Amino acid sequence: MKSLFLMLFFMTVGFSQEQHMNRNDFLGIWDLNWSESGFFPDDDLLFSRKTTKYSNYVFEFKDDGTLLHHRSPGMSCMVGEFSLTTGSWQYEDNIMTLELKGAIMADYNFWYILSYRVEKNKKKMWLKLEKQIKNEHF
């Protein structure tokens, strides 16, 4: 009986910890799968865990709140390509807020502040668009 109680206790604790996310759960390198989800600023976003920084749409969520965009070495930035100059992120009450400044090369500069509801497991993270706080092109 005691072992059954302990097993149920640990199953419950494990389940509740899985449901509760904190900002440390997002730290690291994530690949944006824009072809399966969408892209900034109008769509939901699907990210997958990565171990390398090299790909066109790899983002690194840093502990200090910065968001970095990595490219493969030697990758040139083509006309119409997304290029992030500065980025930051915040997480609170299951809402991820991203602030992104950069350029769509040879087209326009952008400044987005976007909030997303988060759905996450160990390898994937869905950011479901909640609100466009700022969507400026100049």
* 1: in domain: no
Band (pLDDT 50/70/90 cuts) for residue 13 is very low
User: Does residue 11 have a pLDDT over 70?
Assistant: no
* 104: in domain: yes
User: The domain containing residue 101 runs over which residues?
Assistant: 23-137
CA distance 72 to 55: 5
Q: What is the pTM of this model?
A: 0.81
* 7: in domain: no
Domain count, the chain: 1
* 15: in domain: no
pLDDT tens readout for residues 74-116: 566 666 788 899 999 999 999 999 999 999 988 899 999 999 9
The per-residue pLDDT for 138 is 94
Closest CA to 103 of 113, 114, 93, 111: 111
Is 34 in contact with 41 (CB distance < 8 Å)?
Answer: no
* 133: in domain: yes
* 13: in domain: no
pLDDT tens readout for residues 15-56: 333 457 899 999 999 999 988 999 999 999 999 998 777 777
* 48: in domain: yes
Region label for 107, one of left (φ > 0), alpha (ψ between -120 and 50) or beta (otherwise):
alpha
* 5: in domain: no
